[in-house]
Amino acid sequence: MSLRGKTAVITGSNSGIGLGVAWELARQGADVVLNSFTDAPDDHALAAEISQETGTNARYIQADMSKGEDCRALIEKAGACDILVNNAGIQHVAPVPEFPVEKWDAIIAINMSSAFHTTAAALPMMRKAGWGRIINIASAHGLRASPFKSAYVTAKHGVVGMTKVVGLETAKEPITANAICPGYVLTPLVEKQIPATAKEYGISEDEAIEKVILLKQPSKAFVTVEQIAGIVTFLCSDAASQITGTAISADGGWSAQ
């Protein structure tokens, strides 16, 4: 499969899942637009590295995903958007009565509303081009709940719902919209949590992974960034042209329980 001639915009992509997706789409020939809220030399260096290694045009565009106007401007600055991967997200954990209002607002804005704004801006471009793929990185928490994660669970459920709506609105067009719902993914952020969790519970790191971090994940194995990137690539293929409006679980059996 070749994505040469396509432009992919990936939000929240200067690390973790987003960066892994950007690399894989570039390897498939797509020009990629990296994004985060920062605007550091390292951000632009990542894009330059992808360009050099893959021979594609990779750029970095700063945009604050908590602001609707920034989300739409990101797509406009990209100039084209054949593949939109809504990946930006943050997390905060607290009981509902103590959940800080500003954290609720930020999580809803970045994890959910940003996907609405980017999709609204990208769809006209996809329709003009005659092809499009909208891929929302949701979560197992878009299908299941956990205590103390009210904003995150609400936002990810919202993303899954919006994915269904966009899938229906574009069903007769060569455009698809799907959500990927990963369980716990082994990102640099999660890797840092393993020793801290082991210390907190007074157990080994292996026990911390199996009994605490992956408690709800029956496979007891992390999802990898490469696996998520592979699903994104599949959804961009012709084989997936009739897969739309759906949520694809990659959670080691979590949502099967």
φ, ψ (nearest 5 deg) of residue 132? -170, 155
Active site residue 152: yes
Domains of the chain, by residue range, sit at 7-185+223-251, 186-221
Cut 0.85: pTM above it: yes
The pLDDT of residue 80: 98
The pLDDT of residue 189: 81
Phi-psi region of 131 (alpha: psi -120 to 50; beta: other; left: phi over 0): beta
Name which CATH class applies to 7-185+223-251: alpha beta
Q: Looking at the DSSP assignment, which residues form a beta bridge with residue 194?
A: none
End-to-end CA distance of the chain: 35
Q: Got the DSSP string for 215-243? A: TT-TT-SPBPHHHHHHHHHHHTSGGGTT-
The pLDDT of residue 1: 77
Which one from 60, 152, 184, 201 is the annotated catalytic residue? 152
Q: What's the one-letter identity of residue 67?
A: K
User: Tens digit of pLDDT per residue, the chain (257 long)?
Assistant: 799 999 999 999 999 999 999 999 999 999 999 999 999 999 999 999 999 999 999 999 999 999 999 999 999 999 999 999 999 999 999 999 999 999 999 999 999 999 999 999 999 999 999 999 999 999 999 999 999 999 999 999 999 999 999 999 999 999 999 999 999 999 988 898 999 999 999 999 999 999 999 999 999 999 999 999 999 999 999 999 999 999 999 999 999 99
The pLDDT of residue 22: 98
The pLDDT of residue 162: 98
